[in-house]
Amino acid sequence: MPRNILLLQENAAKATITQELLAKPSDGPFAVEWIRSCAAALDRLNDHTKDDIAAVVIDLLLPQGQELETFEQILQASPHIPILVLSNPEQEQVAKQAVQRGAQDYILENRLDSYSLSKALHNMLERAVNAEALFIEKERAQVTLNSIGDAVISTDVAGKVTYLNQVAEAMAGWRSAEALGRAFGEVFRIIDSANPERTVNPMGAAMQQNKTVGLGGSCILIRRDGSESAIEDSAAPIHDRRGHVTGAVMVFHDVTKMREMSQRMSYLAHHDYLTDLPNRLLLDDRLAQAMAAARRQQQQLAVLFVDVDRFKHINDSLGHAIGDELLLSIAGRLVASVRGSDTVSRQGGDEFVILLSTIAHAEDAALSANKILTALGMPHHVKEHDLQITVSMGIGIYPDDGTDAETLVKNADIAMLNAKDNGRNNYQFFKSDMNEHALERQSLESGLRHALERREFVLHYQPKMDLETEAITGAEALIRWRQPARGIVLPEQFIPIAEQCGYIVPIGRWVLREACRQIQDWLDADLAPMPVAINVSAVELRSKDFVRGVRAILQETGLDGRYLEFELTETALMQDPKSTIAVLQALKDMGVRITLDDFGTGYSSLSYLKRFPIDALKIDKSFVHGLCTNADDANIVSAVINMGKSFRLKVIAEGVETREQFLALQAQHCGEGQGHYFQRPMASKEFAKLLGSDLSATVVA
Ligand code: C2E
Ligand code: CA
Ligand code: CA
């Protein structure tokens, strides 16, 4: 403890006595610096070295009326240095006033001795040290409370605000000075966002329960200006030394940003980045909820599985940016086609799943499906393109087609695949036997993957006949799959799958190469040379390098292109007429002939017959089938024959099964025919035998 004492005493004799008294104490002398005048004392106290002075002792025996003034001046010069006043008994009143104004204590001269003086100084100095320590402690707490990022507020036991730190001031919008003494709920309005009617008072709860209480995860602080912020944390009771609750303190922080971020993250996890539609995850959720509701109310609901037809083609030919725009357009129309309470979700790629949450009958789902077919059928304006698309849809109904989300969606998917097989641009309700169909399809698909390398394909040949002379004019090569487990699988069963999986391109190449090789063999064996037709699917025709592949195979096998014919359907030609014309022209330049297959089932438009370089029309077997029994079919057959004549195209009737059909076609001067009535498709060896025995076979000109 520093013991330097500044003594202000005018009377030198008295000062000597005081100094003597201060030199005596049993625990050691005080160091005394005696100053005689008030002015000198002030000088000393205004000096920067005054910090070594532990206390001031002032003798108030000063000219009447000046005592307190002098005291005030000294006090102001050193407010932190404790002051002891010496006074004579007559002036005790003045001494008391000095104490009221800030002096620590006074001693009357008649009681002045070494003991009382040193004791008074001792107490004074000790108090000063304690006060200093307390000040530092308080200061440290203050700085700490203001520098933590959290808001701190405390109340007394009556719930009146006793303290707020700066963060709390900023968060609540109240200055400390205004808030102190007000009811907690007035300064800090906290509500539960889950139940906004309810205000929350964590301070009251902490005091009442006499324990720390956490704020619920959904607390919102309403600021003075009415704005809101999400807050989180806890309130705790404050106790006095005897353990009684004297108030409470709450520490909390603004979690608005954090809550927003977690909400955003959960949104992203549940929505598709491109279309912003709910994704599979959210759909599953909604589906589970809708199913539970439907179960309670004994109602039905429907799931529509929507897949865009030939989307890959658009993506590949126009680029992903256009593909994405198209998906956005599709998403928009889907949403516009259903009710607000329904859910349109994107499963990824070009697949969308729609939940129709309440339907009275299954037919309601069909109505929605029709609406969607119409809405999506309108051209989509994307950049400078007008894109025309179709979709295939499958419908699953709860509870008939599945009682859990996964099964219901899977069955709708299966029904969608069925719609694809059904010529696309339509919808199908799920039927239980589709499941078997789907399994079958899956097994075919996996088998197809290895069929080429395992040499499981063969070509059969079906002769085409001149209806006038009944001589063989050529053949159609028809693919067969000799599947080890199943035996012969017919193309209708696997070609559509091969088309969808992209296997058709390598398979088609194999067909072309095998046919070319076979024809060349027959030519080398001096069998009557005649053209063989092979079937080319739309996917092949559109595939890159198609023309180059044909040219390469002709070169490789050494076959002259005029022995080759391609059968193409109308739909294949119409998908992209401009580039198709170029492809056909390139084929024609190699000497290859083009036949329009299944004629009559598609557009049958005269205008494109003129635009495409076609050599022959093949009347679809369905018309030939009804030729003698159905007037419509007979009319179509006549029309096609006449159309062919006027365009100078060869006309071939396929699927001729009876003598009547043959005679009817002959009577109308249809050029050629093909069908079971003449010959079934046969292995190459048999066909060669047939050729060898058929002396009337016409020779290619
Ligand atoms: P398509 O081009 O219309 O071929 C004619 C189909 O009619 C063949 O069926 C043939 O066996 C069948 N057929 C022949 N005569 C008669 C008859 O008198 N009555 C009846 N009802 N049918 C007859 P297949 O071989 O099952 O081929 C079915 C379809 O598969 C073909 O229809 C063609 O579109 C496709 N296809 C066949 N081979 C290939 C191929 O190598 N590549 C491609 N892409 N498709 C092929
Ligand atoms: Ca054909
Ligand atoms: Ca056909």
Q: For the sheet containing 300-308, what is the strand order? A: 343-348, 351-359, 300-308, 391-398, 427-429
User: Given this model, what pLDDT does residue 65 score?
Assistant: 67
pLDDT in tens, 585-631: 999 999 999 999 988 876 666 666 778 999 999 999 999 999 999 99
> How many residues make up the chain in this entry?
701
- CB of 633 shorter than 6 A to ligand 1: no
Q: Give, rounded to a whole angstrom, the gap between the first and last alpha carbons of the chain.
A: 131
Q: What is the rounded CA–CA span in Å between residue 405 and residue 386?
A: 36
Using a 6 Å cutoff on CB, does residue 497 contact ligand 1?
no
Distance 195 CA to ligand 3 centre (A): 70
Interval 372-384: pLDDT, tens: 999 999 999 999 8
Q: Is 377 exposed, middle or buried (0-12, 13-18, 19+ CB in 10 A)?
A: middle
Q: Report how far ligand 2's centroid is from the alpha carbon of 566 (Å).
A: 9
Residue 216 to residue 413: CA distance in whole angstroms: 44
Q: What are the pLDDT digits (tens) for 70-100?
A: 888 888 888 888 999 998 888 888 889 889 9
Residue 678 beta carbon below 6 angstroms from any ligand 1 atom: no
Name residues whose C-beta falls within 8 Å of residue 95's C-beta, 6 or more positions apart in sequence. 60, 85, 87, 103, 106, 108
Residue 515: CB within 6 Å of ligand 1?
no
For the Cβ of 673 lying below 6 angstroms from any atom of ligand 1, the answer is no
The pLDDT of residue 697 is 47
Question: Where, residue-wise, is CATH 3.20.20.450 in the chain?
Answer: 505-690
pLDDT confidence of residue 84: 92
Q: Comparing C-alpha atoms, which of 126, 86, 117 is closest to residue 103?
A: 86
Q: What integer pLDDT is reported at residue 502 of this predicted model?
A: 86
Q: Is the pLDDT of residue 699 over 50?
A: no
Which residues lie closer than 8 Å to 150 by C-beta, 6 or more apart? 167, 233, 251, 252, 253
Domain 271-432, CATH: 3.30.70.270
- Evaluate if residue 474 carries a pLDDT over 90: yes
451 in Cβ contact with 658 (< 8 Å): no
Distance 642 CA to ligand 3 centre (A): 19
Averaged pLDDT for residues 228-236: 86
pLDDT at 482 over 70: yes
CA distance 612 to 573: 9
The pLDDT assigned to 348 comes to 87
Backbone angles phi, psi at 543, to 5 degrees: -65, 150
Asked if residue 237 has its Cβ within 6 Å of ligand 1, the reply is no
85 and 71 in contact (C-beta within 8 Å)?
A: yes
For ligand 1, pick from 480, 489, 569, 654 the residue to mutate: most ligand atoms within 8 Å of CB: 654
* Distance of CA 608 from the midpoint of ligand 1 (Å): 24
Residue range 148-260, CATH number: 3.30.450.20
Best mutation site among 448, 478, 622 for ligand 1, i.e. most ligand atoms within 8 A of its Cβ? 478
In this predicted model, what pLDDT tens digit does every residue of 416-458 receive, in sequence order? 999 998 888 999 999 988 877 777 888 899 999 999 999 999 9
Using only C-alpha atoms, what is the Rg of the chain? 51
As annotated, the residues of the chain forming the CATH 3.30.450.20 domain(s) are: 148-260
CB 655 within 8 A of CB 625: yes
What does the block give as tokens for 22?
């201060």
Q: Does residue 451 contact residue 491 with C-beta atoms inside 8 Å?
A: no
Say how many Å lie between the CA of residue 330 and the centre of ligand 3: 34
Q: Of ligand 1's atoms, which has the minimum distance to the CA of residue 491?
A: 30
Name the closest ligand to CA 567. 2
User: Boundaries of CATH 3.40.50.2300 in the chain?
Assistant: 4-144
Q: State the pLDDT at residue 695.
A: 47
Task: Please give the number of the atom of ligand 1 that sits closest to the Cα of 537.
Answer: 44
Q: What ranges make up the beta strands (E) of 36-179?
A: 55-59, 83-87, 105-108, 151-156, 161-164
557: which residues sit within 8 A by CB, 6+ positions away?
Answer: 513, 516, 517, 520
CB 462 near ligand 1, within 6 Å: yes
Q: Of 240, 249, 167, 258, which is closest to residue 213 (Cα–Cα)?
A: 249
Does 514 have pLDDT greater than 90?
A: yes
| Right CATH for 4-144 from 3.40.250.10, 2.30.29.30, 3.40.640.10, 3.40.50.2300 | 3.40.50.2300
Looking at residue 62, its pLDDT comes to 66
Confidence of residue 694 (pLDDT cuts 50, 70, 90): low
The closest residue, in CA terms, to atom 45 on ligand 1 is 535
Cβ of 78 below 6 Å from ligand 1: no
- pLDDT confidence band for 698 (50 / 70 / 90): very low
Nearest ligand to the CA atom of 572: 1
Pocket flag, ligand 1, residue 513 (CB < 6 Å):
no
Decide: 306 and 391 in contact? Cβ < 8 Å: yes
Rounded Cα distance between 459 and 688, Å, is 13
Average pLDDT over residues 248-276: 87
Please report the pLDDT score of residue 426 as a whole number. Answer: 94
pLDDT at residue 208 greater than cutoff 60: yes
Considering the chain, tell me which residue range(s) the CATH 3.30.70.270 domain(s) occupy. 271-432
Query: What average pLDDT does range 647-667 have in this prediction?
Result: 96
pLDDT of residue 131: 85
Determine the distance separating the centroid of ligand 1 and the alpha carbon of 691, expressed in angstroms.
21
pLDDT over 50 (residue 701): no
Does residue 676 have its Cβ closer than 6 Å to ligand 1? yes
Task: Assign 2 to helix, strand or coil.
Answer: coil
Q: 153 CA distance to ligand 3 centroid (A)?
A: 87
**Per the CATH hierarchy, to which homologous superfamily does domain 505-690 belong?**
EAL domain (3.20.20.450)
Instruction: Tell me, in angstroms, the distance from the centre of ligand 2 to residue 242's CA.
Output: 102
Stretch among 126-130, 336-340, 393-397 having the lowest mean pLDDT = 126-130
Which of 535, 601, 661 has most ligand 1 atoms within 8 Å of CB, for mutation? 535
